[in-house]
Amino acid sequence: MAFQQGLSGLNSASRNLDVIGHNIANANTVGMKSSRAEFAELYASSVNAAGGANKGIGVTVATVSQLFTQGNITVTGNDLDLAINGNGFFEVSQPNGTMAYTRAGMFKLDREGNIVNQQGGQLMGYPTDTEGNRLSFDSQPLSLPTSAPIPARQTSGIVAQFNLDARAPVAASVTPPTPLTTYGTSVVAYDPQGMEVPVALAFTKTGNNTWEVYSSVNGSAPAAFAPPLLLNFNADGSLDPASITPAPTLTLASPNDPTVTFPVTLDMTAASQFGTDFAVFDLDQDGYFPGEFVGLSIDEAGVVTGRYSNGETRAAGQVALVNFRNSQGLSPSSGGNWGATFASGEPVRGEPGSGNFGGIRSGALEDSNVDLTAELVNMMTAQRAYQANAQTIKTQDQVLSTLLNMR
């Protein structure tokens, strides 16, 4: 009887239509990977049967596999929308404590500064220093200090690059003497609490190729260093490094408490003396006041950098990517997530853009890889297969009816 074969064909065709319908329904789902029903024939074998004695009894759906091909990448402009261009999965810590893996990169910040997905799962990443250098491959939830300002940083060094006019006369050789403020510049340093400490530097020519440096702190009158700080220049206009060895140090006091003092190193190794106007090319210090979080950016290597109101940027970690030896062994679940299984193997961690791991594209999302045209064709083919199996059952019923009506 062909009823069993026809029934198995109906069941398999129906299951295939379910898979195709699921693909079509998720044609616009971010990070979705299309599925494919794979069939296998069934045989009934008697004991010690040989050759053609085996009887085919129909078909079954052996497995429903997923196709992990790359989807198109669509630019969204949202910094927390992430797309993987290549191999790999985002690692997400679910609210129930389990790990999930996804290609859907629609992330956002929660009220505690954690980077989370729509289900509340936290995006995992690798710890880095403030410059973005990875410290280890031990993944942890990525978060940014959005609820409190980053602390102030005390100034520890000032870098000054300038040119002193070689044509200037020795200050004491002219009448009236050249004012001390003729050649000078200023910068704002910061105490341990982030309070501003104005610092001014003044230069006066004391001899051929020799200049003395004066300093002023918190608006005080310029004062000479003790012992005097002299900048000696070579015949070619470059600074003689021996004149600033060891590096000179300023002692600054906090405006909030003058008893709180701290040293600041003064780097003037790039100073020069040429026959052109006095000019300051660079004047910088390494301190800053507290800053509020204002935004973030994520580069192709997955390094998450926070931007703050004091102009500073700080790396908060690096997005972790994982891969599997057998991606087909992953167990799909709702929300565009997959779970690791014995068949998939343990996750292999890496950093974006290295080895066979894809790069991170911030401000973009990976579209579903469903080919809608192909799915519609597959749906018509599956419908015809369903009709053919139904016709097999109908024909078998007619044959059986004929046999029963024989006289």
Residue-wise pLDDT for 309-344, tens only, equals 888 888 989 999 999 999 989 999 888 899 999 999
Residue 315 carries which side chain, given as an amino acid letter? A
Q: Do residues 155 and 264 touch, judged by C-beta distance below 8 A?
A: yes
The DSSP output letter for 189 is E
pLDDT tens-digit map of 203-252:
999 999 999 999 998 888 889 988 899 999 999 999 999 988 888 999 99
Structure confidence at residue 161 as a pLDDT band (50, 70, 90): very high
Residue 67's nearest CA partner among 30, 23, 24, 15 is 23
- List Cα–Cα distances, 136 to 88, 113, 127, in angstroms: 19, 22, 6
Query: d(Cα 107, Cα 353) in Å, to the nearest integer?
Result: 20
Provide CATH 2.60.98.20 ranges for the chain: 157-285
Query: d(Cα 300, Cα 302) in Å, to the nearest integer?
Result: 5
Phi, psi of 118 (to 5 degrees): -65, -25
- List Cα–Cα distances, 138 to 124, 135, 171, 342, 358, in angstroms: 10, 9, 63, 22, 19
What percentage of the chain has pLDDT greater than the value 90?
54
In CATH, which of 2.60.40.60, 3.40.605.10, 3.50.40.10, 2.60.98.20 is domain 157-285?
2.60.98.20
Question: Rounded mean pLDDT of the chain?
Answer: 89
> Does 154 have pLDDT greater than 90?
yes
Residue 338's nearest CA partner among 19, 63, 91 is 91
The answer for 192, left when phi > 0, alpha when psi is -120 to 50, beta otherwise, is alpha
Mean pLDDT confidence for 345-367: 91
What percentage of the chain has pLDDT greater than the value 70?
97
Q: Per-residue DSSP letters for 163-177?
A: EEETTPPPGGGSSSP
**Pick from 142-146, 154-158, 259-263, 279-283: least confident:** 142-146
In this structure, how many other beta carbons lie within 10 angstroms of the beta carbon of residue 100? Answer: 22
Query: d(Cα 59, Cα 2) in Å, to the nearest integer?
Result: 12
The per-type count for the chain, helices as H runs and strands as E runs, is: 2, 28
- List Cα–Cα distances, 241 to 162, 167, 271, 343, in angstroms: 15, 22, 10, 66
User: pTM value?
Assistant: 0.75
> Does 124 have pLDDT greater than 90?
yes
- List Cα–Cα distances, 400 to 90, 276, 296, 392, in angstroms: 58, 111, 73, 12
Q: Which two tokens stand for residue 171?
A: 């200050």
| Dihedral sign (CA 319, 317, 356, 100) | negative
Residue 6's nearest CA partner among 397, 382, 381, 378 is 397
Query: d(Cα 214, Cα 147) in Å, to the nearest integer?
Result: 43
Mean pLDDT confidence for 17-38: 91
pLDDT tens-digit map of 276-303:
999 999 999 999 999 888 888 999 999 9
Q: Which two tokens stand for residue 202?
A: 């003044």
pLDDT at 111: 86
Structure confidence at residue 146 as a pLDDT band (50, 70, 90): confident
In this structure, how many other beta carbons lie within 10 angstroms of the beta carbon of residue 293? Answer: 20
Structure confidence at residue 19 as a pLDDT band (50, 70, 90): very high
Query: d(Cα 266, Cα 263) in Å, to the nearest integer?
Result: 10
Cis upstream peptide for 176 (omega within 30°):
yes
> Does 1 have pLDDT greater than 60?
no
